[in-house]
Amino acid sequence: MSLEALQTQITACRACPRLVAWREQVGREKRAAYRHAEYWAKPVPGFGDFGARILIFGLAPGAHGSNRTGRPFTGDASGDFLYPALYRAGLASQPTSSHPGDGLELHGVYITAAVRCAPPGNKPSPQEIATCAAWTRQELAYLQNLKVYLALGRIAHQALLEYHGLRRSAHPFAHGSEYHLGERVLLSSYHVSRQNTQTGKLTAAMFDAILERAKSLADSS
């Protein structure tokens, strides 16, 4: 099976009843600003460069962001922060992304998340994270050139540790933390959520520095 075929398979997943109900409810009820939009309301698979050396690993789709558009980090404040940063770093062909097919290409980067369906309150349960890890294992198996995991937030960081069978207590999350996991490096950042970027917990300069570090690690390993 190809990675494209796996992505298509992911979009049909209904393994987490609570998340299936929520993603579809949000898609029916919509936010007023998007009342004329047709929501994706399905699992959001990864996208990007299949030969990527850097994996950007998020938490889960935003209810009115990628649960609406079908592309990770697209259509909400997280994407409005992430894509300009990727463009400044030379990792994206354009500084914005509004929907799949908008012309955006990622260079050396693939984006996916620990959980592929929008969770209520942006909080997936441990069981839902564990269930969706099966897709992570399959998706990452196709990305043979990866050198750097860039985890956005603590849950993404912990999910990648789980993927490698490593204990959380031995590898605590911190902004800028780095751990060598075999031939790959786990680099972590505060999540690019509005909650962090609008409070100044994560600034554009801080995230630019993280991306430069990711590029440096990808080039040196």
Contact (Cβ atoms closer than 8 angstroms) between residue 79 and residue 65: yes
Per CB under 6 A, does 62 bind ligand SF4?
Answer: no
Pattern 8-27, binding to ligand SF4, x per CB under 6 A? --x--xxxx--xx-------
- Per-residue burial over 21-60, b if 16 or more Cβ lie within 10 Å, else e, is ebbbebbeebeeeeeeeebbbbbbbbbbbeebbbbbbbbb
Angle at 6 between CA 118 and CA 126, to 5 degrees: 40
Question: Please, which residue, 21 or 174, has the CB nearer to ligand SF4?
Answer: 21
Taking the complex as a whole, the smallest distance from the CB of residue 34 to ligand SF4 amounts, in Å, to: 21
Name residues whose C-beta falls within 8 Å of residue 160's C-beta, 6 or more positions apart in sequence. 57, 149, 151, 181, 186
**134 exposure class (CB count in 10 Å sphere: 0-12, 13-18, 19+):** exposed
* Interacting span for ligand SF4 (CB under 6 A) from 32-40, 109-117, 148-156, 213-221: 109-117
Taking the complex as a whole, the smallest distance from the CB of residue 59 to ligand SF4 amounts, in Å, to: 11
Question: Please, which residue, 134 or 209, has the CB nearer to ligand SF4?
Answer: 134
**Residues written for the chain:** 221
Which helix or strand (DSSP H or E) is residue 5 part of?
helix 3-10
Per CB under 6 A, does 125 bind ligand SF4?
Answer: no
Question: Please, which residue, 53 or 116, has the CB nearer to ligand SF4?
Answer: 116
Residue selected from 76, 80, 128, 139 as contacting ligand SF4 according to rule CB under 6 A? 128
Question: Please, which residue, 80 or 128, has the CB nearer to ligand SF4?
Answer: 128
Point out which residues bind ligand SF4 (CB under 6 A): 10, 13-16, 19-20, 43, 115-117, 128, 131-132, 135
